[in-house]
């Protein structure tokens, strides 16, 4: 079966712009989580969605937001981009809960210039 | 608060030799523990997970991990490494109802001929 699909794979944006990243989970998976990965901070939890509801949120500023659609696809949005937002953004899906074990996508590499 | 410590940033092992990657965790309740592997430019792949039962857990690709509650450890082992095992390995902890994982900073594994 198809894996977790993240689009686009690469993005270059300018400071102050906004960006939307997309994630399609494995068919049948209803939980979608987002992580930011950087060399300095490692993997940091952004948020988790289940049945279109945010169940948990990490310690990121309000510029970072997300949503989930009725087909379980998810998007995350970052507004007013800063240089420090440059990172690999990883989406992970699981059947019901994070503790089921994630399947990760290959990520979106965002570069802010 | 939950946390994971992976004390070894980088490990080099000869092909065919045994491997042990260390992981110590802190979690206030019964933990779920995971090991993930990440190849360059890719997302993370689940190797194995533990919640309860037998403290020695078998995973994919010939990996196993042992849960030791008294030492708050969940070390990953492989009896004989292959060149294809070169990657970064992440230990993670979470809990029921938490819907997020906290990852360690990772251990980069290099395999030499």
| Residue A1 pLDDT class (50, 70, 90 cuts) | low
* Best residue in A2, A43, A56 for a mutation probing chain B (most B CBs within 10 Å): A43
CA B46 to the chain's CA centroid: 9
- Sign of the torsion angle spanned by Cα atoms B27, A88, A98, A48: positive
Tell whether A4 is within 8 A of chain B (Cβ). Answer: yes
Closest listed residue to residue A63, CA positions, set A6, A108, A112: A112
- Residue A55, pLDDT above cutoff 70: yes
Q: What is the pLDDT of residue A99?
A: 86
Task: Quick: pLDDT tens for A63-87.
Answer: 999 999 999 999 999 999 999 999 9
Q: CA distances (Å), A49 to each of A75, A90, A100, B72, in order? A: 10, 14, 14, 30
């Amino acid at each position: 079966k198809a894996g977790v699909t993240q689009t686009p794979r690469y993005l270059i944006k300018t400071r102050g712009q906004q960006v939307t990243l997309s994630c399609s989970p494995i068919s049948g998976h209803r939980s979608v989580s987002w992580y930011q990965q950087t060399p300095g901070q490692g993997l940091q939890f952004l948020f988790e969605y289940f049945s279109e509801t945010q169940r948990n949120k990490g310690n990121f500023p309000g510029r970072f937001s997300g949503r989930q659609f009725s087909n379980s696809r998810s998007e995350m949005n970052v507004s007013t981009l800063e240089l420090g937002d440059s990172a690999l953004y990883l989406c992970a899906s699981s059947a019901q809960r994070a503790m089921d074990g994630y399947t990760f996508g290959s990520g979106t590499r965002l570069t802010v210039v | 608060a939950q946390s994971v410590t992976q004390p070894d940033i980088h490990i080099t092992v000869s092909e065919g030799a045994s491997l042990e990657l260390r992981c110590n965790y802190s979690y206030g309740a019964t933990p779920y523990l995971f090991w993930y592997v990440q190849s360059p430019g890719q997302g993370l792949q689940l190797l194995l997970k533990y919640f309860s039962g037998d403290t020695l857990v078998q995973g994919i690709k010939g990996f196993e991990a042992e849960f030791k509650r008294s030492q708050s450890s969940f070390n990953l082992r492989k009896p004989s490494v292959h060149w294809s095992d070169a990657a970064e390995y992440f230990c993670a902890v979470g809990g029921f109802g938490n819907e997020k994982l906290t990852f360690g900073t990772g251990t980069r594994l290099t395999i030499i001929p």
